[in-house]
Structure 1
Amino acid sequence: MHRRYLTPNFSVSALGLGCMGMSEFYGPRDDVRSMAVLDRAADLGVTFFDTADTYGPFHNEELLGQFLRTRKPQAEIATKFGIVRNPGEYRREIDNSPAYVRRACEASLKRLGVEQIDLYYVHRINPAQPIEEVMHALSDLVAEGKIAHIGLCEVSAPTLRRAHAVHPVTAVQTEYSLWTREVETEVLPACTELGIGFVPYSPLGRGFLTGAFDKETTFGEGDFRANLPRFSADNMASNIGIVDRVRHLAANKDCTPAQIALAWLLSKGRHIVPIPGTKRLKYLEENIAGTDITLTPNEIAALDRAVAAQDVAGARYTTEGMKGLNA
């Protein structure tokens, strides 16, 4: 596994592992299977593991903490605070208050069983809370050694600049894939200008870009894609043209659509580190093998043109899930 630098003083594996689905949103939990995936990821050189206190809630950090205690892998751990949910509810509040920042950090340190969090993100930004106050609170935690690096999720470029002026931001995490490209307009250029790493989540379009779904697909109990606008039958039928383009290139390069989608992201900058999530060994190994796929400039340009020519049908989230995006 190659390594990439989010900033000059913080390197991680070129591909991370998003752990959210091991706890909820993509069907029932299976901690035994999830632990096997975490073990295999470490064997294959993944060191960058992504979690959050809201996943579960809390279960995901506890699972990762168990992995860290028993396996003791080389690892860079990223976790997040700011989304407050009751167990079993999707409804959320956003809390960025300085007092909550400290409480949330202390609780995450305990669940993870670590003395320092490598990368601590503001999961969603509350526009009512000045970002300068949030960054000052996080800077205090850096000074105390409780966190090493600060990150922001789903942030707008102006807010990112204000935050970075208070304390260096190491990474921005926002959804980015072949069918979610809004960050290319302002956020990615700001990251490049300021020397900030970028971590795309849902780099495979929540599975859509793998070619596994069509308008006849149904989702099982506990799979939140059943309620997402982009995964309605009509919208999937409208968006299938994107997957067809990816399938065509994958066939020419003798690889899978998922590997093409990841190779495309990796080609967008040396500071970009995708974090595809999975609960299955097969897909973990397929994703990691995607780091060895190289796209030519002509292939990248052709894919960009083909995808840009098609409007994506459906919003990324429900109204509730859109809280705090591009804040």
Structure 2
Amino acid sequence: MTPAALPAITVRGLTKRYEDFSIGAQDISFDIATGTCAALVGPPGSGKSTVAGILLGLLPPTAGSVTLAGGRSSSAVGAVLAPRGLHPRRTVRDHLRVYAAAAGCPDSRVRAVLETTGLTDRAGTVPDDLTPGEQTRAALATALLPDPRLLVLDDPVAGMQLGELSWLQGFLRNHTRRGGTVLFTAPSLVTALPIADYLVVLSNGSVAYQGSPARLRRRNPDRLVVASSSSIAIATALAARGFTDAVIRPDEQLAVADATEDDIVAAARAADVRLHRIVPDRIHPDRVLASLTRAAAPRPVGPGMPPPASLPYGVAR
């Protein structure tokens, strides 16, 4: 296997237990290929931030391993954490100059990342005067200073307006086209699907699904819901025509995938069944997420609970 073909992230049996408290992650394994934009998706308490923290070396795992193709240096990995880690009294430009100096980057990189993130006109602004989306872009500009190939972003779409979301999607696509890799967390499939090439869905610290968005969609297709005089007869007629994904719901209506309305009408005519109505049932992405995950209990906090592992202003080591 050539270095370019190696996974950018390899996670095996990752487990995080807090003494006398909850489990943050349980036997999690996945690979993220180089050049992929991957999403770690799940409701609050599912383990997303725990996994991201372990990937960045901010939390020690109880068991398991994490391998990053380029290591954890700031030149290899750029991180955007929550909170965003902006100095409250420094302008965006001064904040970036401090971190550029710490990373050994020239001032030209400050100008470059301001332009890349669309913040050139906001460079003289302090964080309190930025929108939440601009704060995220400023944190991303900080992460981009050493030009890392791997980006780990904690809920980057939080607070972003529609135009900013479109910008972020374009930026992440360009980053992966250049051979970079992205892993971002998201509480919702609605926000993840327009960006992600690969999904890892977490529920209570365990993997509930991993694979492509297309495969998840095939497993949860939109359906047509058919009310008729005989759901069984229509299902049998549809199966004879090759449409086998049909389910009789508790209300006795038939939910059919893949077939068109014309297909259903033809099957009903052939089976001599009277149709009452055909209604589309669009599967909302977060309805799929709810079916994959379970409500997680809030993680307890107490004297034995280690505080969240972060550095000043939220910048990873």
Same fold (TM over 0.5): no
> TM-score normalized by structure 2?
0.32
Comparing both chains, which one has the higher relative contact order based on Cα–Cα distances under 8 Å and sequence gaps of 6 or more?
2
Higher helix proportion: 1
Higher strand proportion: 2
Computing the radius of gyration from Cα coordinates, the structure with the larger value is: 2
> TM-score normalized by structure 1?
0.31
